[in-house]
């Protein structure tokens, strides 16, 4: 047991909490119209409450508990935190209490469904959102976390690498976001009336908090206060910087002006992208990965989304899906054992095997997530109806779902 490692992971846990509330909450909250801002903050906040409890009750056990067979899902042996005490579990982290690893992972389970909010923003019924989220965490997140990270997980046994959640967090939430956006349909008036972010300073504040918290997310995923953590920290930082700058330059060239929303979007895309790969690449390659993250996500959001016409309201797929997939593939290209001996060499360092298993992981997880999201969506829609009434959508979710208003016009 190492007190330095333990202190760092406890601190990182708090940093990752900050990413969801208030980071993501304000990042998304500023982007919606003023009548819906509280619904976004509410969804982010209640996810923290609900999934934290789901996690300690049974989610952690399904994800990281002893394999129930075939590497598909963990058993319920660790439900209610049974066997999850202050003794380390060497399978996951030998130098910190098992309970610290559990609570660190809790924050990942929380933020992942919260990312999907960006796709269905401004039109989903609160009750439907709540049921969908709990089911999604249980039947989508927990199995994938087990496959990729859990002891005995079938993808882990094939040698896939996902340092901090490029597949488990970003690809899974991003693909799910796309499917939900397609099934749920467009917001009323989409492309017929202007949809302006109601408070971009909120979005900038949120993006800054996300960047800050991401150091816990990525560097904390080293599960130790060591050189790998330092490498992940630096790779994370420079990838975000490179992607933010690239986005601004692309916009400047395309539209004649760089926007702060563009810089923030680029930075978050860079952060999502570098997540699976930050512990395996040297920082110079992280810059290159970040530049391409901005380019790919820009193309997805500005060109492809516009062409296909789906309403991924806040670009959860365009940022997290595309970024997560690119980052996961980048592991198979840029990883090098010189950076992390426990990793692998990517295609650019002489080994194509890693590239192939990374591709396979992206494909398998994407198909699984798409199918499961479709099933859960249809189920929830049948049980409670997933979309608010048209009239409620015009009035806004704050008043119709939460019975409160964010801003007063008259004192």
Partner 1 sequence: MKLIIAIIQPHKLEAVKQALEDVDVNLMTVTNVLGQGRQKGHTEIYRGAKEAGGLLNKVRLDIAVNEDFVEPTIAAITKGAHSGKVGDGKIFIVDLRECIRISNGERGGKAIG
Give the residues lining the site for partner 1 (CB under 8 A). 194-197, 251, 254-255, 257, 259, 261-262, 265, 298, 301-303, 306, 315
Structure tokens at 375: 């099933």
List, as one string, the DSSP characters of 5-35: HHHHHHHHHHHHHHIIIIIIHHHHHTTS-GG
Nearer to partner 1, 31 or 167 (CB): 31
Backbone angles phi, psi at 83, to 5 degrees: 65, 10
Structure tokens at 1: 């047991």
* Nearest distance in Å: CB 399, partner 1: 23
Q: What is the CA radius of gyration of the chain?
A: 20
Nearer to partner 1, 70 or 256 (CB): 256
Nearer to partner 1, 250 or 388 (CB): 250
Nearest to 298 by CA among 366, 251, 360, 354: 251
* Nearest distance in Å: CB 302, partner 1: 3
Nearer to partner 1, 223 or 297 (CB): 297
* Nearest distance in Å: CB 184, partner 1: 19
* Nearest distance in Å: CB 259, partner 1: 6
* Nearest distance in Å: CB 137, partner 1: 28
SS3 call for 190: strand
Give residue for tokens 């990281």: 64
Other C-beta atoms closer than 10 Å to the C-beta of 309 total: 9
* Nearest distance in Å: CB 161, partner 1: 31
* Nearest distance in Å: CB 257, partner 1: 7
Give residue for tokens 């290159």: 288
Nearer to partner 1, 104 or 317 (CB): 317
Other C-beta atoms closer than 10 Å to the C-beta of 378 total: 12
List, as one string, the DSSP characters of 61-104: HHHHSSB-STTS-B-STTGGGTT-SSS-BTTTBTTS-HHHHHHH
Other C-beta atoms closer than 10 Å to the C-beta of 126 total: 17
Bridge partners, residue 124, by sequence? 387
Nearer to partner 1, 342 or 410 (CB): 410
Nearer to partner 1, 37 or 160 (CB): 37
Q: Contact, 118 vs 316, CB < 8 A?
A: yes
Nearer to partner 1, 191 or 378 (CB): 191
Number of helices and strands (H, E) in the chain? 19, 0
Nearest to 110 by CA among 196, 178, 168, 187: 168
Nearer to partner 1, 299 or 360 (CB): 299
List, as one string, the DSSP characters of 238-253: HHHHHHHHHHHHHHHH
Distances (CA, A) of 3 to 7, 84, 263: 6, 18, 38
* Nearest distance in Å: CB 255, partner 1: 5
Backbone angles phi, psi at 82, to 5 degrees: -60, 135
Nearest to 115 by CA among 47, 183, 49, 161: 47
* Nearest distance in Å: CB 301, partner 1: 5
* Nearest distance in Å: CB 297, partner 1: 10
* Nearest distance in Å: CB 323, partner 1: 14
Nearer to partner 1, 2 or 259 (CB): 259
Nearer to partner 1, 257 or 342 (CB): 257
Other C-beta atoms closer than 10 Å to the C-beta of 220 total: 28
């Amino acid at each position: 047991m190492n007190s330095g490692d333990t202190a760092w992971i406890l601190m990182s846990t708090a940093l990752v909490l900050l990413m969801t509330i208030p980071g993501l909450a304000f990042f998304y909250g500023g982007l919606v119209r003023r009548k819906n801002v509280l619904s976004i903050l509410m969804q982010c906040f209640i996810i923290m409450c609900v999934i934290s409890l789901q996690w300690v009750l049974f989610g952690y056990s399904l994800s990281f508990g002893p394999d129930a067979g075939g590497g598909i899902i963990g058993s319920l042996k660790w439900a209610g935190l049974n066997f999850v005490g202050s003794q380390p579990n060497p399978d996951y982290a030998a130098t910190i209490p098992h309970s610290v690893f559990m609570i660190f992972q809790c924050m990942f389970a929380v933020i992942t469904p919260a990312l999907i909010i960006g796709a269905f923003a401004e039109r989903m019924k609160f009750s439907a959102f709540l049921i969908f989220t709990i089911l999604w965490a249980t039947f989508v997140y927990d199995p994938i976390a087990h496959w990729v990270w859990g002891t005995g997980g079938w993808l882990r046994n094939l040698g896939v690498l996902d340092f901090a959640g490029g597949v488990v967090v970003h690809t899974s939430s991003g693909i799910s976001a796309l499917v939900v956006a397609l099934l749920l349909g467009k917001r009323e008036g989409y492309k017929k009336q202007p949809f302006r972010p109601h408070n971009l300073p909120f979005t900038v504040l949120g993006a800054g908090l996300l960047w800050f918290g991401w150091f816990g997310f990525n560097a904390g995923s080293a599960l130790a206060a060591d050189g790998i953590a330092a490498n992940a920290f630096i790779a994370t930082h420079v990838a975000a910087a490179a992607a933010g700058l690239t986005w601004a330059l692309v916009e400047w060239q395309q539209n004649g002006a760089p926007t702060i929303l563009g810089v923030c979007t680029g930075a978050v895309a860079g952060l999502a992208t570098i997540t699976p790969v930050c512990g395996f690449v040297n920082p110079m390659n992280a810059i290159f990965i970040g530049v391409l993250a901005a380019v790919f996500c820009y193309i997805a959001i500005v060109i492809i989304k516009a062409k296909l016409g789906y309403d991924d309201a806040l670009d959860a797929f365009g940022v997290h899906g595309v970024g997560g997939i690119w980052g996961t593939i980048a592991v198979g290209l840029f990883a090098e054992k010189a950076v992390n001996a426990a990793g692998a060499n990517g295609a650019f360092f002489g080994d194509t095997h890693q590239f192939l298993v990374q591709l396979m992981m992206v494909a398998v997880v994407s198909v699984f997530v798409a199918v499961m999201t479709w099933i859960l969506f249809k189920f929830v829609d049948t049980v409670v109806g997933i979309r608010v009434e048209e009239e409620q959508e015009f009035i806004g979710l704050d008043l119709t779902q939460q019975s409160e208003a964010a801003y007063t016009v008259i004192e």
